[in-house]
Structure formats: structure tokens, C-alpha cells
Amino acid sequence: MAIEIRNVEKTFGAFTALGGVSLDVRSGELLALLGPSGSGKTTLLRIIAGLDHADAGEVSFDGQDTRDRAARDRKVGFVFQHYALFRHMTVFDNVAFGLRVKKKAERPAEMDIRRRVGQLLEMVQLSHLASRYPSQLSGGQRQRVALARALAIEPKVLLLDEPFGALDAKVRKDLRKWLRHLHDDMHITSIFVTHDQEEALELADRVVVMNHGQIIQVGTPAEVYDTPADSFVFDFLGGVNRLNGVIEGGVARLDGKAVRVDGEVGPNGPAVIYVRPHQVELDVAPGDGVPEGKWSARVSSLHAAGPVARLELDLAGRALEAQLSRDRLSDLALDVGSWCTVDFRHARVFPAKN
């Protein structure tokens, strides 16, 4: 099912949690809502599910406005951040809940319920724990019970709020892969919330970056990573060098030398130049000074475990991180303390915030 979100606004008292958000969610895609804590991700998810009302704007499912549809009529599977399992019910009864509360006419026979719940528990690999209570499960197991419970009603949309937030790193990674496979099998339109950029980039078909109740950028993981819309997205996705420079007459300059940048160059004034470590090009320093239009830097540390080497450089007092292949590193014969020339293959510049 496709979801269209148009100019949705939500305020809590004087605080604007969502300030006019518009978004199209394509049928069958796995979408990530990525943003720092407090950026309005949960609020947006709750409005889609009908657990909160928007102050303005509309949400429609396959072209149909949802304003008058209560949460229980939306057929939206919601997996809460803290699972919200029914503590006094067994795992089995938790998963069966959505089937058992159906209207008499639609409710499957008890035998069918058992079969269906059995299948779901098998799918989330919890068949052996069907008669346990939630308090007797680990975090990852509870998470999967919550997921099975949401899937039991055969939702048209699956919404997951920080699905991996409360889990430890190892379980997180496993569950992430598993969720991706599950989505590929079932093709339910799914939206998950996360504040972890790595998670969003690795798992999602498309990523929606949010900040202060606004959508900053929507795109595939590659688009968002390679062409961040603004300095916030750059900073939030991380893994980037920030170099203080200036903009003068439409040219970005670092230590007086022009930097070739992609995209717009802002108005004159102090600016920040963003360069990803793998876009930093290193070369052997020639004997006679720095070549035209390049910079000179000294290697301050070097990590060469794995296929990619990471170098920390000192560029006129600024820390600069560079990545290059091990082969290239041995060609350059660089070591801690040695000098090299630096150039930037791709860089972006944004006016500095004061």
C-alpha cells in the first residue's frame, strides 16, 4: 500500500514537533526515518498509525484519506520501541491477540488461529517459547514477539519505532539482516525509525532524513550518502572531514588555494568544506615545494588493518582523515611522519554557522 503524507503539522503546546511534513511512501518499500532524537520521527509514525492526530495536513492510504479511520481500523502493524507486549499473556496469546479480537464474522476458527500463530512463531523462530511469558524472554526475543504480533493481523503497512534501539550490538546486526530478508519475502510497505545512520543506510530502500520536525532529504542510501542536501545531513551521516575555509567571490578557498567543489557555492564569508575520507587524494611530495593548487600534509597516524588503510593527516594544523587501498599506500610508501601532497576529488562547501 502506498502512503501519501501532505503538509502534516503537529504541535505539543508551544513546541512544533512536525512542521509541515510531506512524503510519499511507495508500495512495498522499506523506508527509514533517520534523524537525531527529538526530530519528530516517532510523532510522524504515530500519526500514520492513527495513534496521534495531526493538527493539520492529511495522510492517505492508496489515495484514501484516513482522517476518520481510528487506529484499530487502519490495519497498520505497529512495533513499539519498548515492545509493549501484554505481560500477563504468553507469547502465543500475545501473537494471537489481533486475531481473537476480530469481529465474530471475521474471526478465524480457534484451530485456524493456532495454525496461523504457529506459522508466525516459526517465522520469527520462537516456536519453542510459545508458552513463555514476556518477562522470561531476552530483548531480541521480545522484539520478535512484538513483530509476530503485529504481522498476525496481515497489516498493509508495518511501522517499527527504533526496532533495534534497545538491543546489544551483536543481536542488532543479526536482527537487522533478518528483518531485511523478512521484508524481501513479504513486501509489506514498511517504515522504520532509527537515529543510527549506519542502520538506515544498510537496511533501507530509501532514507528520509529529518531534523527539527522537518524532512531535510529523501533518497536512496547512495544518494543521501554521496550528495547530502546540506551541512546537517553531512554532519549527521558522519564519516566526513570538516575543514574551515572561506568563500570569496563564488570560490571556496582553503588556505588561500581554490577548492573545486560540487554544487552551489554560497555567499562570501567563512565556510566549511566537507570532504569524505575516500575522496582525499594523496601523492608523493615532490622535492621542490607544493604543486600548484594542492596542499601539503604530514601523516600523523596510520591504521592499515584490513583492505583499506586509514590515515590521519595534519594539514596546516587541521586533522584530516584519508582512506586509500593498501596497494596505493604501498605505492606511495607513506609512513608516520612523512609528508605528502593532498587534493580533493569531490568536496562540498556550505557557509559556516556562527
* Residues contributing to the site for another protein (CB under 8 A): 49-51, 70-78, 80, 82, 84-88, 97-98, 101-102, 125, 132-133, 135-141, 144, 149-150, 152-153, 167-168, 170-171, 174-175, 177-178, 181
Binding to ligand ADP, residues 42-101 (CB under 6 A): 42-43
Q: Shortest gap between Cβ of 285 and ligand ADP (angstroms)?
A: 47
Q: Report CA Rg, the chain.
A: 25
Q: Name which of 129 and 209 has its Cβ closer to ligand ADP.
A: 209
Q: Name which of 167 and 275 has its Cβ closer to ligand ADP.
A: 167
Look at strands 280-284 and 339-344 and give their pairing: antiparallel
3-state percent helix, strand, coil for the chain, nearest multiple of 5: 30, 35, 35
Taking the C-alpha atoms of residue 35 and residue 272, their distance in angstroms, rounded to an integer, is 21
Using CA atoms in the order 45, 50, 53, 59, what is the torsion angle rounded to 10 degrees? 70
Q: Phi/psi at 240 (nearest 5 deg)?
A: -140, 145
Which residue's CB atom is positioned nearest to Mg ion? Answer: 42
Q: Shortest gap between Cβ of 280 and ligand ADP (angstroms)?
A: 33
Spatial CA neighbour of 213 closest among 3, 14, 2: 14
The CA-atom distances, in angstroms, between 11 and each of 59, 76, 238 are: 17, 23, 29
Q: Phi/psi at 172 (nearest 5 deg)?
A: -55, -50
351 binds, among ligand ADP, another protein, Mg ion, none (CB under 5 to 8 A by kind): none
262 binds, among Mg ion, ligand ADP, another protein, none (CB under 5 to 8 A by kind): none
Look at strands 269-275 and 308-315 and give their pairing: unpaired
Residues 6-45 vs ligand ADP: string with x where CB under 6 A? ------x--x-x-----------------x-xxxxxxx--
Which grid coordinates belong to 172?
542488532
Q: Shortest gap between Cβ of 38 and ligand ADP (angstroms)?
A: 4
158 binds, among another protein, Mg ion, ligand ADP, none (CB under 5 to 8 A by kind): none
Taking the C-alpha atoms of residue 198 and residue 32, their distance in angstroms, rounded to an integer, is 11
Binding to Mg ion, residues 38-57 (CB under 5 A): 42
140 binds, among Mg ion, ligand ADP, another protein, none (CB under 5 to 8 A by kind): another protein
Q: Name which of 15 and 289 has its Cβ closer to ligand ADP.
A: 15
40 binds, among Mg ion, ligand ADP, another protein, none (CB under 5 to 8 A by kind): ligand ADP
Q: Shortest gap between Cβ of 165 and another protein (angstroms)?
A: 14
The CA-atom distances, in angstroms, between 336 and each of 106, 178, 288, 325, 339 are: 71, 42, 21, 17, 9
Residues that bind Mg ion (CB under 5 A): 42
Residues that bind ligand ADP (CB under 6 A): 12, 15, 17, 35, 37-43
